[in-house]
Chain A
Amino acid sequence: MQDLGPYLKQHPFLAGMTDSQIELLVGCASNVKFNIGDYVSREGQPAKRFFFVRHGRLALELMTHDRGPMVIETLTEGDVLGWSWLFPPHVWHFDVKAVELTRAIAMDGECLRNKCEEDHELGYEIMKRFSHVMVNRLSATRLQLLDIYGKRK
């Protein structure tokens, strides 16, 4: 039976990883599907998994008292969802909802953390890649905060 290795290898987040590293990741991976309206995570719940999005669209939402749930970002094919699994206390910071039928590879956070502890080379690769994603998202968030399309007062 074919494992998830070829799908992991195709994901841009993992581009350039060695076959043996992909093999290690496969042991923590599972195939998942979310229908429209399904919640992938809820704010405050334990962040046991993260996801490589293969297809579809996920919305990161924050509940506000006056405006209801605000979508602050969407993730789509080629994106990675979730870094709360990496850092204690391992809880989700947002609600994440599927706004389109979404297929993804779910990664067991604890399983991967253990593998990263055992194999620091793998751990460094994973940390480098997540740092890159975080820097890009921070930079994008700063632009969003500037409200550049708003009227200047």
Chain B
Amino acid sequence: MANASELMQPEAMSNEMLPRLYTVNKIYKDTHDTFTMELVPSDGGPAMSFQPGQFNMLYVFGVGEVPISISGDPDRAIPLVHTLREVGSVTSALRQLRAGDTVGVRGPYGTAWPVTEATGQDLVLLAGGIGLAPLRPVLYSILFRRRKYGQVVLLFGTRSPGDILYKKELQKWRSRFDLDIHITVDRAIRPWRGNVGVVTSLIPRASFDPMHTTAMICGPEIMMRFSIMELVKRGVPEDHIWVSMERNMKCGCGFCGHCQCGPLFVCKDGPVFVYPRVKELMNKYEI
């Protein structure tokens, strides 16, 4: 493993900081404030290989860069898929792009969900809002190797029926007998006939063996904290719970320190952490 002084060599830095050009192949709206981009390498070169949970830095030239989790299939890396929520100047600029436009991509960065380590276990994936995007590669990966896992449960909470991401795909997955999907929304009007309530309310009803379960959670931090409480209440060991943290990342590779969270750099040591490693940090107001 490279030590800190090696990493800080200008050559290493420049390679990490150099974006590769990608062309927008497709861009489409998922919900009123989210959209998905499909990118292909502009040079026609090889696909980027990534693991579920990793992210890329997407660069809109002249505007800026944002860290975005990869939401596509790790076994089918072209096109490179990202689902974004329009929240700031860079994501708004990305939303304005059209097929044929060019973006810069650096990555993939960060740690991955423990898809291999969880072999033989029941899996509980808990997603809140756009947090479903970083977990979708896990689902692709699991479904490709479905026999290697026990029960697979996806619990997804979002704001309203109109905010449900990947509707068609979820519908398709719900028809599978080997996948247990529960969706809930915080509020609804008719004709919605599904669950209404917070995502944590789905945990006591879900079917899994707590002692032999690996849980992966992605969503707003408060949703993750309450979900962890429910999972622990059901008997899932803390070191079987994994979370994806979000902090203000700039370089994406541990040079700048923007995303430092106590002793950890979220971009390099995370974004996916086993819960005990970040337990203390998640409950602190300021670090």
Contact B200 A70 (CB under 8 A): no
> Do A71 and B192 contact each other (CB < 8 Å), given the known contacts A143-B198, A144-B187, A149-B186?
yes
When distances are taken between beta carbons in the complex, the residues of chain B under 8 Å from A136 are: 201
Contact A143 B195 (CB under 8 A): no
Contact B158 A149 (CB under 8 A): yes
- Partner of A77 from the list B157, B189, B201, B205 (CB cut-off 8 Å) is B205
Contact A74 B205 (CB under 8 A): no
> Do A72 and B159 contact each other (CB < 8 Å), given the known contacts A77-B205, A140-B200, A143-B198?
no
Contact B222 A71 (CB under 8 A): no
Nearest-CB distance from B217 to chain A (Å)? 13
Contact B223 A148 (CB under 8 A): yes
> 1/0 per residue A122-149: CB within 8 Å of B?
0000000000000010011001101111
When distances are taken between beta carbons in the complex, the residues of chain A under 8 Å from B187 are: 70-72, 144
> 1/0 per residue B179-194: CB within 8 Å of A?
0000010111110111
When distances are taken between beta carbons in the complex, the residues of chain A under 8 Å from B157 are: 149
| Cβ-based interface call for B220 (8 A) | yes
> How many of chain A's residues have a CB under 8 angstroms from any CB in B?
28
Contact B186 A147 (CB under 8 A): yes
When distances are taken between beta carbons in the complex, the residues of chain B under 8 Å from A46 are: none
Most A Cβ at <10 Å: residue of B85, B184, B190, B222: B190
> How many of chain B's residues have a CB under 8 angstroms from any CB in A?
32
CA distance A76 to B196 in the complex (A): 10
When distances are taken between beta carbons in the complex, the residues of chain A under 8 Å from B196 are: 59-60, 71-74
Mostly, the A contact residues are mixed
A residues 59-81 in Cβ contact with B at 8 Å: 59-60, 67-74, 76-78
| Cβ-based interface call for A88 (8 A) | no
Contact A68 B189 (CB under 8 A): yes
CA distance A136 to B163 in the complex (A): 25
When distances are taken between beta carbons in the complex, the residues of chain B under 8 Å from A57 are: 193, 195
CA distance A60 to B219 in the complex (A): 26
B residues 247-284 in Cβ contact with A at 8 Å: none
Contact B129 A149 (CB under 8 A): yes
- Partner of B190 from the list A68, A143, A146, A152 (CB cut-off 8 Å) is A68
| Cβ-based interface call for A99 (8 A) | yes
> Do A151 and B33 contact each other (CB < 8 Å), given the known contacts A71-B190, A72-B187?
yes
Nearest-CB distance from A32 to chain B (Å)? 20
- Partner of B189 from the list A70, A76, A140, A151 (CB cut-off 8 Å) is A70
* Apart from A59-B193, A99-B193, A151-B33, 20 more pairs, CB < 8 Å: A57-B195, A71-B190, A71-B192, A73-B197, A74-B184, A74-B194, A74-B195, A74-B197, A78-B205, A136-B201, A143-B198, A144-B187, A144-B197, A148-B222, A149-B157, A149-B159, A149-B163, A149-B219, A150-B159, A151-B85
Residue contacts A-B, CB under 8 angstroms, 6 given: A60-B196, A72-B196, A100-B193, A140-B197, A149-B159, A149-B220
Residues in B lying within 8 Å of A, measured CB to CB: 33, 85, 87, 128-130, 157-159, 163, 184, 186-190, 192-198, 200-201, 204-205, 219-220, 222-223, 226
